[in-house]
Amino acid sequence: MPFQQWLLVNIPTWAIAAIMIAVAVGTAVGGVLLVRRFVNVGNLKHHHDVAGPIFSTLGVVYAVLLAFAIVIVWQNFDMTQNSVIREANYYGDIYRDSVGLPEPLRSQLTAGMDDYINAIIDDEWKLLAVGQRSMIVQEKSDKIWKLIGNFEPKTDKEKIIFAEILNRANTAGELRRQRIADASTGIHPVLWFVLLFGGIITVAFTFFFGSENLGAQLIMTTLLAVLIVLILFTILIMDFPFSGDLFISPDAFKQVLQNLKS
């Protein structure tokens, strides 16, 4: 399990946010005060004409990197959520199409689908939080595929319906495999290193600006550090769409069951 996912699973989201903000504030305040203790304000001001353009370039580069990371994470979260809805809808379509199948296959298939979807909701969703799949769900899926594989359609109507069910079942299976993969993959550690190290460099650069008003510099540096941390926090909690407090729920599967039993 990646370290970021471990954090989301084992530490409450509010605690992660509080720790990150506390570290940002402490670093910003401590860094400014430390530099001021050993370097005269006048000496710092002498370098503003060089430090200003460099800091502007640094800020733009890091802002672009942050924007790139948060957009990618946000898009991946939305795509995963849409995939979950599509997967649930395909199961609903299989329920609907099974009306045209002969008995006892129809009853066996609908009962198997009930067990399968309930297992996804009750068992697999908890395992997705730690990036794993459910063997119970896999066993129920194998039973459904055994039912489908042993069926031989006799009439043209049965052939058409069976082809639709087979197509939807295959697509739903692909979406499940994608869902499991999405549950265990996040931003590459190298990119996380660049994001964190880039944030430290950006905030640390502000330590070497000399403002006559120390309080103003402390406030500006602290606000910059908190802003960066909030963006990193947003990236963190959306990086693994099934882990933490901000997670994709199995409501789409519950809705399918409710609609079919109503």
- Write out pLDDT tens, residues 88-147: 999 988 888 888 888 888 888 888 888 999 999 999 999 999 989 999 999 999 998 888
Q: What are phi and psi of 13, to 5 degrees?
A: -60, -40
Number of alpha carbons in the 13 Å side-chain half-sphere of residue 242: 25
* 3-state DSSP assignment of residue 151: coil
pLDDT of res. 49: 66
Provide the 8-state DSSP code for 212: S
Alpha helices in 120-184, H assignment, sequence order: 125-128, 135-150, 156-184
Tokens standing for residue 136:
């119970």
Query: Is the backbone peptide bond immediately before 104 cis, with ω within 30 degrees of 0?
Result: yes
**Amino acid 42: pLDDT:** 66
Q: Rounded to two decimals, what is the model's pTM?
A: 0.85
The residue that leads in pLDDT, 174 or 261, is 174
Q: pLDDT tens digits, residue range 22-49?
A: 999 999 999 888 877 777 766 666 666 6
Closest CA to 122 of 112, 111, 137: 137
Question: Could you give the CA distance from residue 231 to residue 234 in angstroms, rounded to a whole number?
Answer: 5
Q: CB under 8 Å to 203, separation ≥6 — which residues?
A: 24, 27, 28, 31, 221, 224, 225, 228
Cα-based torsion angle of the residue sequence 112, 114, 116, 119 in order, rounded to the nearest 10 degrees: -140
- Give residue 9's identity as a one-letter amino acid code: V
| pLDDT tens-digit readout, 152-192 | 888 888 888 888 888 999 999 999 999 999 998 888 889 99
SS3 87: helix
Instruction: State the Cα–Cα distance between residues 65 and 191, nearest whole angstrom.
Output: 9
- Cα–Cα distance for residue pair 20/16, rounded to 1 Å: 6
